[in-house]
Chain A
Amino acid sequence: MFKKTLIAAALTTVAFSASAYEIGVNDEIAVEVYGVAAISAVSLNVGDNNQELRYPKTDADDKVTQTHTESTGYELENESRIGFRAGKNMTDSIHVFMQVESGYVGNFKNGGAGASGKLGVRDTFIGLGGDWGKVRFGRVLTPMYELIDWPYSNPGLGIVFDWGGSVKGYNDRHSDQVRYDSPTWGGFNFAASTGRGDSTSSDSYFYGLNAKYTFSTVTLMAGMESNQDFKGYEDMDVLTYLVGFEAGLPGGFSVAGAFKQADSSNSFVNANWKEQAGDASQGSYSLIAQYWNGPLGLKAGYAATLDSELNGQTQNDADTVVSFQVMGAVNGFVPYVRVAGRTLESVYVDADTDIVVRVGLEYGF
């Protein structure tokens, strides 16, 4: 059955390839298959550091199974995925479109072959669009997280600026969401969304916003997200905001920077992704410089969290990451080599710097 489905999908693509998915032209709904081929080899602890974990690993019976890190050598991360898109005009001014995208098909952390590669893991939605903007229903990035993810967590800064830190403050790719993206008016546009944080918890909701204003080669960005009963934890209310910029400079250079702040009331989700009592807050920032000379690019990034505050007390848990990347853009292919140094006080006791090396290739088709 699976093979039949594949062939049917392929035939559909071939049949529509000449005029695939043209708005207002076809009477039929055109479907296209797309995806990303992405493979990288990564070693997360080249220096073979043996660091003490702040939160020792435990098994299902809360029995401690690991207190220190150890180098496990390199691994191949296959972040390839596949998806389907379709669209059709409902009226002259309303276009209906949909997307279904799989998760990464690779074998991550011994999760099993293809364990995360199910359809619907990544952006999967039904949307309406027109000159008035577009609204999507389903699983998409929250507006503020979209900015955190890009440009402020690349190259390799996500361990600190994205999912890192001691006070977790926002959703990322999230289901049960309604998101509106405006058109651009004189360089300004915005996105707003709302949805259920954890739909099994009656009071768990979130509201998010981002806004971007472009003049010349400069884009100013801002975002916020408010969560009630964050991730379903009762009375855990979190407000996070972000301000940032990106600027293109002459000669192929560009720079970007952002600051964000998360404030959690009553309780918070800590660095170990567990609920912890108390009012907590933490700021973080990211700075990136980039240079492209034809198809060759160089990128450097630095991100850090500030020491968090817990019930008014400053904690000693600031993380930093510095990263350098050499990359190319060759007919849609992006090969890259990255070296990063991570010092993660929120994860290790008296943290040392781990050297991370990643070599990869990706291609969107």
Chain B
Amino acid sequence: MLKKIILLSSVLILSACATNPEGISSEQFATSAKLTKGYNFTQVTGEKIRPINLTEKNGLLVMSAEATLGLMIGEAQTSTLALNLKFLENYQKYYFARINDVNQKITQRKETVRQCDDQCSITQYMLINIKTDDLLAAREQGLVFSINKTDNNTDFIFKIPSNYIDGLLKRYEIEHTVPNTPINTLVSTSVEESKATEMTQYWFNKLDSEEQIAFSTWAIKSSKKELTFIDGSKNLEKLHYWYQEATKVEQKNLRTWAVGNLK
């Protein structure tokens, strides 16, 4: 029984602790991140960290701050930051966040808590939206944001460190099917591009064996230098049209696919 209690206690303590990101490598953050694949998105959720506090001396006191970043890649391209901000009670509430000079109203994740002993503190549980593009741009420098009383104020200032953001992106990249493909090209996948892949594969399957080989050879050679397209059937022309509609990444995937699907 005692062992059970100790085990459960340790789980609770571990789950409650936020990591100090200083000195942690992006690979370590990548390892601890959790990846979820949905219908039209992939979400990578990092471990809970203590964001870097850059709040100026303005009478505000951060007692603790804990942040969990959920990197969202897909159609929505809106990531979320769950921030638990505990500060010395000053009878003010902070409902606004600013990222790259853009203000937004913070979503309250659960009821604000006031806790008093010798000191009184307020803990606000916030949910902040972040454009995934902003995170991509912050991969090397980190992302600074502020938490404010109104959209005209600048009150608490924090930074999500670059090693944390880099770690989540690395986790995404390593899980993705296309090796050695930079994230900024992967995340630009769109519905139209998927259609290009689909149609290319459709018309490729309509070709006879001879034209399939001819197309595959042309496609591989033309990836290195520009070549005039080969003459052939109407189906080959349609295949060429949709292949040109595909992105570079998709074309690379299609070349690999074509070689493996010859008649």
A interface residues (Cβ-Cβ under 8 A, vs B)? 3, 6-7, 10-11, 13-14, 17, 20-23, 33-34, 36, 38, 40, 79, 85, 87, 95, 97, 127, 129, 134, 149-151, 154-155, 184, 212, 214, 217, 219, 221, 246, 248-254, 290, 292-293, 297, 327, 329, 331-332, 334, 336, 360, 362, 364-365
Contact = CB atoms under 8 A, between A and B. Distances in A.
Contacts of A293: 57
B83 to A, nearest CB: 14
A38 B118 contact: yes
A32 to B, nearest CB: 9
A282 B22 CA distance: 54
Contact of A14 (B15, B57, B117): B15
A125 to B, nearest CB: 11
A331 B50 contact: yes
- List 5 tightest A-B contacts by C-beta distance, closest first: A248-B59, A332-B64, A150-B120, A252-B57, A254-B59
B5 A334 contact: no
Interface of B: 1, 4-5, 8-9, 11-12, 15-16, 50, 57-64, 86, 88-93, 108-111, 113, 115-121, 123, 149
A97 B111 CA distance: 8
Given A327-B119, A364-B121, A365-B16, A292 B59 contact: yes
A252 B92 contact: no
A11 B63 CA distance: 28
B5 A364 contact: no
A95 B120 CA distance: 25
Given A3-B1, A212-B91, A22 B61 contact: no
Contacts of B1: 3
A293 B111 CA distance: 30
A132 to B, nearest CB: 14
Among A33, A150, A221, A248, residue most surrounded by chain B Cβ atoms (within 10 Å): A150
Given A14-B12, A36-B115, A329 B5 contact: no
Nearest to A3: B1
A151 B50 contact: no
Contacts of B9: 10
A236 to B, nearest CB: 29
A1 to B, nearest CB: 13
B88 to A, nearest CB: 8
Contact of A154 (B5, B16, B64, B119): B119
A336 B118 contact: yes
Contact of B63 (A129, A154, A329, A336): A329
A23 B109 contact: yes
A219 B61 contact: no
Contact of A149 (B58, B64, B115, B120): B120
Contact of A217 (B4, B12, B59, B111): B59
B116 A329 contact: no
Given A246-B91, A364-B115, A292 B63 contact: no
Contacts of A212: 91
Nearest to B13: A365
Among A11, A17, A221, residue most surrounded by chain B Cβ atoms (within 10 Å): A17
A14 B8 contact: yes
Contacts of A254: 59
Contacts of B92: 214, 219
Contacts of B57: 250-252, 292-293
A249 B11 CA distance: 42
B93 A184 contact: yes
